[in-house]
A and B are shown apart, each in its own frame.
Chain A
């Protein structure tokens, strides 16, 4: 099965190891990941900030790059949600692009959703001795309705104990420009998330949204440098012996 990787700009620029992990997991699960090197960014930052004309340009590029790919898989729920839930409206006044946007939205998958729902796999073969907890990112949990899938993947990790994060579905306070525009409010939110994480006693906070990860890991690095947060893909790839050195 050919799987087209959509690696969000945050991952491309700041956390490429997540992209590598996604590639490794999907290869390991007997799919054939491909990567269109023409891809850039889905345009979400522009769209969310209100720059719609500019976001349209990014959207058209995205649609061109991913063409007819049957399965487009991304380690970011908010990017998937942008394409799936906003492109058609964004391009509403350009009927042929709008049609293509509607069409491509049916072929977009968040990584955990793809592995569990499409591939029908919950156990990727990872093992980890320790306690982990899971943050329900807003766009994954609420916008895409994905929660069971990552939890199933985590539950199947041998040795790992999944403990519940207090107020797991609360926003971490990232919100793109929000985190820089309203730093005090954002800080209060990410601090609450960190406190809830620390209170679980878990070794690692897992999440599958790069934006949240930038925010939470940046906060932890400054304030609680011994605490770790990781993208679920990185966690699974690092803890699967058979392909961790691929």
Chain B
């Protein structure tokens, strides 16, 4: 997938003018939190269930090294082949190698965010192994070469006309149709042939259970179960943070994930695989490869201030809660992960210097933190990135130096009321010279963006400081303070 994280602002502007995107975003931002709420309230004690889920994720991350080793040991004991990959190149090479050695012509895939992150499809296809996404939304985004609009519904916003056109072109349908059910059923038929003769499938992993070496996938469409049933070779790709301690923990997290993802109490299918098929079984993979991908996670793990990013279970609840995502959708984030999830993860994967708009495009409203079933404090991480960016760049460019000096001057004024009041007296006439009828409507410098839709009141003649002084109220404390400050 093409990484367009540097085009945040222009993509956002375009998406805000896209009526179809806007209609879906409105529906999503209003409907999805209600669905989630209904799902969560089916717990006898929703707060206790949420707290327990957060505790599982915290413990899973704090115990990550042991849990990973335990998972590996148990998965191998059951006959899975565990492959480790430091980065996307190693992961991609491993999958290609497996496919090439087995003379594979095509692969079908279950929805997997980490494979999008590493650009697996492009690598396999350019090396002569065809790849078919099978999740309906992913089928559409793959055929349109488009980033996911939403982690759960990657093509929710794509108009049926556009889907019909690309399906016609790819031979999925013979006659155009804009009926979503017909379009979906056509993909069913198209994919059945692929599944029927499949030799190799690829799936992601929602949870890897340390105590049993089991990989768990949750889904509704049945495409993952097809991928895990029909072919002789199965590759499951997971990033290192997917591990949970026990099956009991996994069950609780499945309950939490389903409710947060789609508002369901349980997704249609939860498949739990421990090793490849037994020798006497007729279907299921003869070989199960589990590729454990780092791709930057160990660095996140070592970075104690942002480590909690790894608690994320990719449910998408934060996207549905984010007021900014609700206006711009998933495309502007320019990468596999969008919304608050992407705002905290992408800077670590792509570099803080390349993702400034991601962690600046936030009002710190805290809706993501409040809804997060993993207990991630997104605003704190976003603030941390801002601080790191300032620290890294403050001497680099002229404008960065200027802004840094401006901040320093402000802080000096903030640490002395005398300077503060002096600054106010200096700025006020300049500022107010822009005002008409007591309001400023535009500004030739500085905070120009403000005035695109807003006025700003001119500064009143007196600050509160000055009014207070004029009130001349006895305040013995100030005498003391004056002496000490």
Residue of A nearest to B428 (CB): A13
A-B contact count (CB 8 A): 210
Contacting residues, chain B, for A43 (C-beta < 8 A): 411, 414
Residue of B nearest to A19 (CB): B464
Flag whether B280 is at the interface (Cβ < 8 A). Answer: no
CA distance A84 to B485 in the complex (A): 22
Contacting residues, chain B, for A20 (C-beta < 8 A): 464, 467
Contact B390 A14 (CB under 8 A): no
CA distance A155 to B349 in the complex (A): 49
Contact B477 A181 (CB under 8 A): no
CA distance A182 to B453 in the complex (A): 12
Q: Which of B86-94, B190-198, B228-236, B402-410 contacts A (4 or more CB under 8 A)?
A: B402-410
Flag whether B460 is at the interface (Cβ < 8 A). Answer: yes
Task: Looking at the assembled complex, report how far the CB atom of B285 sits from the nearest CB atom of chain A, in whole angstroms.
Answer: 46
Task: Give 1 or 0 for each of A4-33: 1 = CB within 8 Å of chain B CB.
Answer: 100101011111110110000000000000
Contact A48 B364 (CB under 8 A): yes
Contact B452 A58 (CB under 8 A): no
Flag whether A121 is at the interface (Cβ < 8 A). Answer: no
Contacting residues, chain B, for A184 (C-beta < 8 A): 12-13, 16, 452
**Residues from 178 to 210 in A contacting B, C-beta threshold 8 Å:** 178-191
Contacting residues, chain B, for A169 (C-beta < 8 A): 367
**Which of A7, A177, A190 is B453 in contact with, Cβ under 8 Å?**
A190
CA distance A34 to B366 in the complex (A): 32
Flag whether B168 is at the interface (Cβ < 8 A). Answer: no
**Residues from 379 to 404 in B contacting A, C-beta threshold 8 Å:** 383, 385-391, 404
CA distance A215 to B416 in the complex (A): 28
Tell me how many residues of A have a C-beta within 8 Å of chain B. Answer: 75
Q: Which of A94-102, A146-154, A219-227, A228-236 contacts B (4 or more CB under 8 A)?
A: A219-227
Flag whether A214 is at the interface (Cβ < 8 A). Answer: yes
Contacting residues, chain A, for B477 (C-beta < 8 A): 4, 34, 36
Q: Which of B99-107, B170-178, B443-451 contacts A (4 or more CB under 8 A)?
A: B443-451
Contact B485 A179 (CB under 8 A): no
CA distance A102 to B251 in the complex (A): 39
Contact B439 A36 (CB under 8 A): no
Residue of B nearest to A16 (CB): B464
Residue of A nearest to B424 (CB): A13
Flag whether B475 is at the interface (Cβ < 8 A). Answer: yes
Question: Given A13-B424, A37-B417, A50-B387, are A180 and B323 neighbors across the interface (CB < 8 Å)?
Answer: no
Contacting residues, chain A, for B360 (C-beta < 8 A): 177-178, 181-182
**14 pairs across A/B with beta carbons < 8 Å?**
A13-B463, A14-B456, A16-B462, A36-B478, A36-B481, A46-B407, A46-B411, A49-B407, A86-B383, A138-B366, A139-B366, A184-B13, A189-B323, A218-B456
Beyond the given pairs A40-B420, A46-B411, A50-B389, 19 more chain A to chain B contacts, judged by CB atoms under 8 angstroms and listed by A's residue number, are A4-B477, A12-B463, A34-B478, A36-B477, A37-B469, A43-B411, A48-B383, A52-B391, A60-B415, A142-B367, A170-B323, A171-B323, A179-B449, A180-B447, A180-B449, A181-B361, A183-B450, A186-B449, A221-B455
Instruction: List residues of B whose CB falls within 8 A of some A CB.
Output: 9, 12-13, 16, 30, 323-324, 327-328, 360-367, 369-370, 383, 385-391, 404, 407-408, 410-417, 420, 424, 439, 441, 447-450, 452-457, 459-460, 462-469, 473, 475, 477-478, 481-482, 484-485
